[in-house]
Each structure stands twice: as C-alpha cells, then as structure tokens.
Amino acid sequence: MPDLPFTLAQLKILHTIVSEGSFKKAGKKLYISQPAVSLQIKNLEQQLNAPIFYRDQRKARLTETGKLLFKYCQRILNLCEETCRALDELEILQSGTLIIGASQTTGTYLMPRLIGIFRHKYPQISIELKVHSTRRVSWGVANGQIDLAIVGGKVPLELQSQLSILPYAKDELALILPPAHPLSALDFIQKEDLYRLRFITLERESTIRNVISSTLTQNGIDSQYFKIEMELDSIEAIKNAVQSGLGAAFVSVSAISKELELGVLHWAKIEGINITRDLSVLINPKRYSDAATSMFRQEILELVLASTHELKNSKSLPVDRTQS
C-alpha cells in the first residue's frame, strides 16, 4: 500500500474548517492556534501538490481538489467513528449481564437452546433467564428488572402503552396423540373428532391453559365441550400421560420436538385448521438498550424465527410419516 498523502489529523482539520467556515473558528474548535491550522493545510497542499482552498476570499472556499478531498474526508472520518463504536461495543460484550424474561412454554422449551447459541458466541456475557407468567414478565420489563422478554400470552392492558410489543413469530399448537391411537393413522382428522377425544390439560387456573383455550376459540373450537380426562400441573406430565395412552392434548409445537424425533408422540393435523398464537418481543423503550441486549435481539431472534419454521415443518422429522 503506498504512503498516504494525508493524515487523519489533517483530514479532521480540513473537515472542521469547512464546517466552521474559517481557519480561525476551526482553531478555536480544535483548541489549536490559527497558525497551526494554516501550517497543517499548507503541508497537506504540498503533499497533494495542489491547492485546497482559494486564498482570495475571507470565507474558506474549497477548490475542486478541495471539494473532492472533502467528499472522501467525510466518509473516512465517519468510518473511523463507526470503527470506534464497534470497538467500544466489542469491549462491552466481553462482560456484563443480560436478563431475559419468557413466558412458561417459550422459556422452558425454546429459550434455553437459543441462549446456549448466544453464550457460545459471547461466553463472557452472563445471561439470567426468568420464566414466569406473561403478566409477571411484562411487569418485569416495565419496571426495568428484565432487559428483554419473549412471551406468548397477552400483555396486560395497562402496560401496552408503556412497552414496545414487537410481533415476530407464530407458535403453532399441536394436537398430540399416542402413536397407537386409531386417529393417528389418518392424514387429517375432522374438527368434530375433537369432541370424542379424552383430553389431558393443565389445571384450570393455568395461564397457558387459558391461552390455548382462547386460541382454539378463535379457530372455531369450543374447548368447554371437551371431555377432560385429567388435569396435570406441567407440560412434561401431559406429554408423558399422552405417551402412555391416557388421552390427547394440545401443546406448543416447540415443546414436542424431541418426542416427534423419537416417534413417541403423534402430531395429529386437523382438516383445514392451522392453530397458532403470536409470540412477541417486549422491550421498554424508555430504558437504554445496551450492546448485549441489542446483539441478543439482532442475532437470537432470527434463530427463533428459524426454529419456529423448522418445528412447523416437522413432517420431515424421522417419525412415522404415514401416520401424520
């Protein structure tokens, strides 16, 4: 690379002269004397072998050479500033703590994997995951106790004006059956078949159960008429009960990826119906978004989208696809 005919200091002086309108004002801005400013410009003109400013005007006026140099000068100095910001961000990402919130299903089945990917790239960032109800997580973001959250429930009405609620993905609800169930042999079941099944659900006061119930209602399915075989206190217990042949259940697709791979649960498709709920990112716009939070949003949320798409198309998983 050839030697450059200018230095960053000279470009900064040139930029300041143009922005301030005179050598004298540029000197005051940069805390150097006017003769020092003039000397730097003279040296720059000698190095370029061309004048930069016309000398017959009181106001600093650029020559054609000066205009061309100033055009690139702005780009070079902007790039230098960007480089400094990137280095500062990198230094910040070498340490720090990021507090992520998530509603129950998302926090239990999706976030640990995504956080693991992020930690692999930024091992010095300490991440704390808080898994609670959507309501509790929403208040945590509003109060500044949580940096960013991903939820599947409805944000409390009183907080909706305080938070940035960014929809970013769909979480599909899957009807799961034991592989040996007669309906598992069908490509699709009918909506009416649901009312003949025996269901296993979460306890009545569960937020997740209420979310599932309202989502089914939006799709023309009234869960009030379901035959409830038993109520359990966790998604894991429900999956084990369905696997044991005790009934059917609706759960998030993100909660059954492993079982689909192993072929111990069957995802029954309902004719003409695709049951989904919105997943949202919650941010408090009044809080400063540090480098770790911004990077998590930028890198990990793209993976959430990819993961959701992958699960939604899980027919490609090594399950008995003749029964899907």
Grade residue 95 by pLDDT with cuts at 50, 70 and 90.
Answer: low
Domain range summary for the chain, segments of one domain joined by +: 8-92, 97-169+278-312, 170-276
Residue range 208-216: mean pLDDT, rounded: 83
Highest average pLDDT, of 245-249, 251-255, 277-281, comes from 245-249
Are both 8-92 and 97-169+278-312 of the same fold? no
pLDDT over 50 at 308, yes or no: no
pTM over 0.75: no
Helix (H, G, I), strand (E, B) or coil at 208: helix
- Classify domain 97-169+278-312 at the CATH topology level: D-Maltodextrin-Binding Protein; domain 2 (3.40.190)
Higher pLDDT, 315 or 92: 92
pLDDT in tens, 16-59: 999 998 899 999 999 999 999 999 999 999 999 999 998 776 67
User: pLDDT (tens digit, 9 = 90+) per residue, 165-206?
Assistant: 987 788 888 999 999 999 999 999 999 999 999 999 988 877
Q: Is 8-92 in CATH node 1.10.10.10? A: yes
pLDDT in tens, 121-155: 888 888 899 999 899 999 999 988 899 999 988 89
Which residues face 61 on adjacent strands? 54
Taking the mean position of all CA atoms in its chain, how far away is CA 264? 32
Q: How far is CA 287 from CA 60, 141, 163, 268, 294, in A?
A: 43, 9, 10, 44, 12
Q: What's the CA gap between 129 and 131, in Å, rounded?
A: 6
Is the per-residue pLDDT at 218 higher than 90?
A: no
Q: Are strands 249-252 and 164-177 parallel, antiparallel or unpaired?
A: antiparallel
Q: What is the pLDDT of residue 263?
A: 93
226-245 burial, b for 16+ CB within 10 Å, e for fewer? beeeebbeebeebbebbbee
b/e map 66-97, b = 16+ CB within 10 Å: beebbeebeebeeeeeeeeeeeeeeeebeeee
At the topology level of CATH, where does 170-276 sit? D-Maltodextrin-Binding Protein; domain 2 (3.40.190)
Model pLDDT, residue 291: 74
Select from 290, 319, 48 the least CA-distant residue to 148: 290
